[in-house]
Amino acid sequence: MTRRYVTERVSARVIFLTSALLFCTFISHAQQVIEGKMGVFLTAEKRIEFAPDAKNIKYNLNEHDGSKKITISVNPNDVTRLMLSEFRFEGTGDEPIWSAKSSVTFVPKTRKSSIIVSARSDGGMLYQATITITDGRSFGIVVLLVVILIAVAAICAIYFWSRKKIVSTKKSLESEIGKRNRELQSQKAKYDELLANYMPKEEFEKLKEKSKEKEKATRYKMVTVLFSDVHGFSNISKTENAEHLIDDLDKFFFHFDEVVKKFHIEKIKSVGDIYMCAGGIPQKNHTNPIEVVLAAFEMYQYMQNMKLQYGDEQGWNLRIGIHTGPVFCNNTGNKKKLEIWGDTVNIASRMEASGQINKVNITGMTYELVKEYFVCQYWGKMPVKYKGEIDMYLIEGFRPHLSVNGLGIKPNQAFQTRLGIVRFDDIEETVLNMLEEKLPKNLYYHNLKHTIDVTTQVEIIGRSEGISDYEMLMLKTAAIFHDTGFTRTYKDHEEAGCEIAREYLPKYDYTPEQIDFICSLIMKTKLPPKPVTLLEQIICDADLDYLGRADFIPVSGNLYRELRERGAIEDDINKWNKMQIKFIEGHQYFTNSAKKMRDVNKNNQLEAIRRLVEENN
């Protein structure tokens, strides 16, 4: 029904557009006729009135030149043969006079015109002919108007017929859909009745609640799912120490819980010897592929240590499968009921089942997201229904330059810094959303744009000054938080910004020492700036970067408006400009990079303000 409905709508539109095109063609044709651009309707008739030789006089009618003008001329051969010297044309609208011109051009005033052409020879012989010119356009216009009316009627008829057909089909389709919906509702009611009769009431209510939660599911674009399985656990459980070993399995899973919590991953469930968790839910982030692999690597190392403790005969072997992609999640806020489903979950489960024992197995999608951090080995393809073949990789360890002593077993500070740089994107998004939501609307200078400008400028100056990646991470974090205090207070906002940083940054694995250092950088932006270290100089220069920019005047105007509305300064632009002159004269950029980029323009802005003050005085 749906395909038929769409086909009929398309056909109707094609017919309508074709008819409209023909209509436009007729209109254009009629317009050309009315404007006299189609001369085929112009006709002329010659009548001989006097003189036996007059029949030899010929005329030319240029009826195809695209205009309404007509030219009548005497045949040059006759002029020579009959020795004609003077000519006169009567009926053209001009006064008839004898002249040497053997042709005349004129515009007919009426639909039918009679032109008397007279010619006189040197010997006094007179020749005369009468030409009747008839404009046949009127009949053509009537014909075209009739055709246009017929075309309009045909288009209207086609349109209303197609419209009626579409409405009829639509009603039929709606009726069919309504019928199918009623059938589905009836079948669902029967299904619920059967379940209620054969299931305990509590379980039935849980099933209905679960169904409602799936209807409210949220789709996440990038989630990394991990499945782990204690390989051969069924054989282990048949040994004499089965109960003791099962208790050990609980300890393993308890340790796994601690690991996933450490890396901001959500445990989904554990059934038997299967453990399932996922990163990137319910809080979205960019780091979940790396963090899930880190968690998997730590789980693997823990199980290797357990094998050393129990011996190989116990068979504590772990198999892990990981895949990254979109999932659906019933994000109800209750972590105990957190569930995910979709192709990503199924592929991760297949990856675990098809993977190598005592290895961290990842798919090609996850590999592309973590290959810069881990040494990975390609080992084959896995067929997946409706997906084709998926590449499989093994995590061998950390890259040497990102691991302690280059052994590839434990991540070093360089690894943590690179992870922090990726994690900063999540911090930046969170802070900017918070500023956009909570900053007062009358902050015309200390607004969202100012925070973005300072964060961008610390990176530009920092690169020019040659600071390390770790120092850059600390600087950018301080820059993104340096004005967050305005969401709580205007006075002493630097201290409030430090409080907010101490609340947020532990969630992103910043150490207490790092947070203290970041707060010290924030406090250095307090006026007047007194930086000591290079990083302090960079953030102070970035904070007042506008003094040397081309947009200094409008930015300064925003600051004036902000302070004026808060009663911090008088409503006098001249006094404000004098304050700006005094401030700029006492200001200096601290880093060599800022001096090169901004000093010259800052002096130009200073001169511009001085001229404004002089003009106002």
Query: Residue 63's pLDDT is what?
Result: 42
Name the DSSP class of 97. Answer: -
> Residue 294 forms beta bridges with which residues?
none
Query: Residue 459's pLDDT is what?
Result: 95
- Residue range 439-464: mean pLDDT, rounded: 95
Residue 258 one-letter amino acid: E
Helix ranges (H only) for 199-331 are 201-215, 233-236, 242-262, 288-310
- Residue range 437-445: mean pLDDT, rounded: 93
Residue 317 · residue 357 · CB < 8 Å? yes
Per-residue pLDDT tens over the stretch 248-287: 778 888 999 999 999 999 999 988 889 999 999 988 999 9
Mean pLDDT of the chain: 82
Between 330 and 519, the higher pLDDT residue: 519
351 in helix, strand or coil? Answer: helix
Alpha-carbon Rg for the chain in angstroms: 45
- Residue range 489-495: mean pLDDT, rounded: 93
Helix ranges (H only) for 439-545 are 448-465, 469-481, 493-504, 512-523, 534-543
Query: Does the structure show a pLDDT above 60 at 336?
Result: no
Q: How confident is the model at residue 317 (pLDDT cuts 50, 70, 90)?
A: confident
Q: How confident is the model at residue 480 (pLDDT cuts 50, 70, 90)?
A: very high
Between 190 and 467, the higher pLDDT residue: 467
- Residue range 610-617: mean pLDDT, rounded: 82
Between 449 and 134, the higher pLDDT residue: 449
Query: Does the structure show a pLDDT above 50 at 45?
Result: no
Of 129, 138, 126, 117, residue with least CA distance to 71: 117
* 445 contact partners, CB below 8 Å, separation of at least 6: 555, 558, 559, 562
Q: Right CATH number for 218-411 from 3.40.190.10, 3.30.70.1230, 1.10.10.60, 3.40.50.300?
A: 3.30.70.1230
Between 484 and 316, the higher pLDDT residue: 484
Per-residue pLDDT tens over the stretch 191-237: 777 776 767 766 666 666 665 555 567 889 999 999 998 876 656 55
Query: Residue 464's pLDDT is what?
Result: 95
Q: Which of 96-110, 394-408, 417-431 has the lowest mean pLDDT?
A: 96-110
Share of the chain above pLDDT 70, in %: 79
**Residue in the structure block whose two tokens are 């004036």:** 560
| Architecture, CATH, for domain 39-135 | Sandwich (2.60)
Q: Which of 34-48, 95-109, 485-499 has the lowest mean pLDDT?
A: 34-48
Tokens of residue 445, six digits: 């200078």
Per-residue pLDDT tens over the stretch 69-118: 777 888 777 777 778 888 888 887 788 888 888 888 887 777 677 788 88
Class of residue 65 by CB neighbours under 10 A (exposed 0-12, middle 13-18, buried 19+): exposed
Q: How confident is the model at residue 154 (pLDDT cuts 50, 70, 90)?
A: confident
Q: How confident is the model at residue 180 (pLDDT cuts 50, 70, 90)?
A: confident
Tokens of residue 181, six digits: 């919906």
Query: Residue 121's pLDDT is what?
Result: 82
- Residue range 125-147: mean pLDDT, rounded: 69
Share of the chain above pLDDT 90, in %: 44
Query: Residue 56's pLDDT is what?
Result: 36
Residue 465 · residue 591 · CB < 8 Å? yes
Q: Right CATH number for 420-616 from 3.40.50.620, 1.10.3210.10, 1.10.3810.10, 3.40.720.10?
A: 1.10.3210.10
- Residue range 549-564: mean pLDDT, rounded: 91
Q: Which of 219-233, 287-301, 414-428, 553-567 has the lowest mean pLDDT?
A: 219-233
Q: How many angstroms separate the CA atoms of 475 and 455, rounded?
A: 8
The beta-strand segments (E) located in 349-427 are 360-363, 374-384, 388-398
Class of residue 15 by CB neighbours under 10 A (exposed 0-12, middle 13-18, buried 19+): middle
**Furthest C-alpha separation in the chain:** 150
Q: How confident is the model at residue 509 (pLDDT cuts 50, 70, 90)?
A: very high
> Residue 219 forms beta bridges with which residues?
328
- Residue range 333-344: mean pLDDT, rounded: 75
Q: How confident is the model at residue 512 (pLDDT cuts 50, 70, 90)?
A: very high
- Residue range 320-328: mean pLDDT, rounded: 94
